[in-house]
Amino acid sequence: MTFVDTLAFQLFSLAFVSAALFYSGLVGYVTFLRYGPRRTFEHLRSQAVPLGGLGVIIATIGLWGEIVWPLPGSYNILFFDPYLLLGVVLIGYAVCLGFRWRTQYIGLLAAMTGLLSIYYGANAYNLGLTKEPLAMFLLYVSMGCMAIFTFPVTLWIDRYVISPLISPESTPGGPSPDSKPSAAMSAEVKVLFGLFLIFLLFALGSAIATLYIGGNALTSHLSYAP
């Protein structure tokens, strides 16, 4: 089977996803504090367009890799299994926001994908499957942890953004579609905000790591193209 060099592009696509999630999460939280759920949801729906587009590209490449197996041996499993699942998660997230469906189930799928990513990275590190096993392992861990902490972020989106828009009366003590967050929900928000900060940290770390590794991969791949 002829090797088709998509690895550098895959790394850059991961960097774009991480950077988009970091920026969107930061702006979304500021929007929520200033303007309330309605404006925050408008922001999230706008964010879903590029994330959904990336999800289609990632899922297509991931599915192609699963079927064609362009890489030698177990590298196909390492590089395409989590990649395909990430594409499915991004598409599902975009669809949920488009239809105002709850996102926590996509968040749960993202968390399971993150755990799987860390498991793959740990096994690849132990087997020494790449030239830089530690860098590869840290990349899988950072991406995996970002995916895991996506779950509490989606719980926050469902509780404080989507629910007030669908049925304001079903969330007593929660915000109305056009109100700013109240002190009554501060305790719960503090917990979710702490988890949200961890999510942002891993998103930023993943973006930096994938850009660095992807940049190095691009140089070598352009110099010695198959």
The 3-class SS string of 61-81 reads: HHHHHHHHCCCCCCHHHHHHH
Task: Indicate the pLDDT class of residue 80, thresholds 50, 70 and 90.
Answer: very high
Q: What's the pLDDT at 8?
A: 86
Q: What's the pLDDT at 31?
A: 93
Distance from C-alpha of 135 to C-alpha of 141, rounded to nearest angstrom: 10
**CB-CB neighbours of 104 under 10 Å:** 20
101-147 pLDDT tens trace? 999 999 999 999 999 999 999 999 999 888 888 888 999 999 999 99
Q: What's the pLDDT at 189?
A: 73
Task: Indicate the pLDDT class of residue 99, thresholds 50, 70 and 90.
Answer: very high
Mean pLDDT of 75-93: 95
**CB distance 88 to 116 below 8 Å:** no
| Average pLDDT along the chain | 87
Mean pLDDT of 188-216: 88
Determine the distance from the C-alpha atom of residue 223 to the mean position of all C-alpha atoms in its chain, rounded to a whole number: 31
* Percent of the chain surpassing pLDDT 90: 63
**CB distance 78 to 129 below 8 Å:** yes
Q: What's the pLDDT at 185?
A: 55
Task: Indicate the pLDDT class of residue 172, thresholds 50, 70 and 90.
Answer: very low
Q: What's the pLDDT at 53?
A: 96
Mean pLDDT of 31-48: 92
10 Å CB burial of residue 103 (0-12, 13-18, 19+) is: buried
Any alpha helices (H) in 36-149, and if so which ranges? 37-68, 75-98, 104-127, 133-148
